[in-house]
Copies of this chain bind each other. A is one copy, B any other.
Amino acid sequence: MNSNKKPIRIALIQMAMAEGAEVNQEEAERLIREAASGGAQIVCLPELYLGRYFCQTEDRQFFDQAVAYPGELAPRMAALGKELGIVLVVPFFERRAAGVYHNSAFVVDADGEILGLYRKMHIPDDPGFYEKYYFAPGDLGYQSFATKFGNVGVLICWDQWYPEAARLTALQGADVLFYPTAIGWHPEEKEARGVEQHGAWQAVQRGHAVANGCYVAAANRVGNEPNPGGGHIQFWGQSFISGPAGQLLAEASVENVEVLFADLPLDEIEVQRQEWPFLRDRRIDSYGGITERFGKP
C-alpha cells in the first residue's frame, strides 16, 4: 500500500441542547476537551449545536440566532483547536447577509488555521423540520478539507440521504465524511415507524461508506426538544462511525450525551479501494442524466 496515511482517532460529540448559545458552547467545549483527553484528533459537533432545533416551527425571531463567519465563533474554535492540537468540525447557523442565512459548518486545523466553510446543499422541509424557511441552499459545492490528520469531508444532515453528495465529497479526496446531524422521531410515529426510520438512516450512510471506500461519521443530538407550536421531537442519538466496508465501528446510545470514539486506520481506504476497485470502473461517460430531475436527459 502506498497511501502513507497514519491511523487517527476521531470523536463525535453527541449532545443534548439547552436554551442559550453560550450554555451550549460551554457544554460543547467541555465535551471537546473530553474528546481530546481521550486522544481524539478530529472532533465533530452535531448540527446547529448552539441551540435547540428551532426549525420545528417557522418563526422570524430565530433568525436572530444566526452568526457571522468567521465572526467570533470561528476564531474561538480555532483557538480551542490550537490549544488542544486537534481538528474541529463546527456546524453553525450562518448569517451571511440580511436575508441570506445558511446551515453551515467550518473546519479548523490543529494549528488553529480556519480552513473554510461548507454550506448545507440539501435543505429539507417536512413537518417539524421547516428548514427551507430558514436556510438558503448552499452555493459552495462539496468540500474536502486537508487537515493535519486527514482529509475531512463535511456534509450536513439531509445531505446524508444523497449518494451524489457523498460521491462528490469523496471525489474531492475525503478520507472521512462527517455528517453533523439533527434527526429524531415524531413521538406519534416512533412506535410504528421508529425502527424503520432509524434503519433507513443508518443503511444509506453505510452504503455511502461502501460505495466510496471511505469512513462515514454521523454526529447526532439527543433528547426531547419541545416545539413552541406544540409537540416535540425526540432526537434519536445513535451517532455512529462506519468503516469503508460499511461495518459499524462505533455507535452511541439513543438517549445519552456521549463522546463517541473510533480509531481509523486511514491506510485501509487504499486497501479497500484496491480490493473493491469501484472508483476504477465508474462509467463517467454514462452519468450525465444525474443532473436531470427525472426521466431521460
Chain A interface residues (CB < 8 Å from chain B): 121-126, 137, 141-142, 158, 161-168, 171-173, 196-197, 199-200, 203-211, 245-247, 275-279, 281-296
Contacts and interface: CB of A to CB of B under 8 A. Distances in A.
A164 B197 contact: no
Contact of A245 (B124, B200, B211): B200
Given A122-B281, A288-B291, A210 B206 contact: no
A123 to B, nearest CB: 7
A247 B196 contact: yes
Contacts of A205: 207
Given A207-B203, A283-B137, A289-B171, A245 B196 contact: yes
A214 to B, nearest CB: 13
A277 to B, nearest CB: 7
A143 to B, nearest CB: 10
Given A126-B277, A163-B207, A207-B210, A289 B158 contact: no
Contact of A211 (B168, B207, B284, B291): B207
Nearest to A166: B163
A209 B286 CA distance: 21
Contacts of A295: 171-173
A197 B245 CA distance: 7
Contact of A199 (B141, B247, B289): B247
Nearest to A140: B286
A200 B246 contact: yes
Contacts of A286: 121, 141-142, 164, 168
Nearest to A171: B294
A290 B287 contact: yes
Nearest to A169: B289
Contacts of A291: 284-285, 287-288, 290
A163 B161 contact: no
A273 to B, nearest CB: 11
A156 B171 CA distance: 24
Q: List 4 A-B pairs, minimum CB-CB distance, nearest first.
A: A207-B207, A163-B163, A203-B246, A204-B210
Contacts of A292: 171, 284
A153 to B, nearest CB: 13
Contacts of A204: 206-207, 210-211, 246
A281 B293 CA distance: 9
A205 B113 CA distance: 39
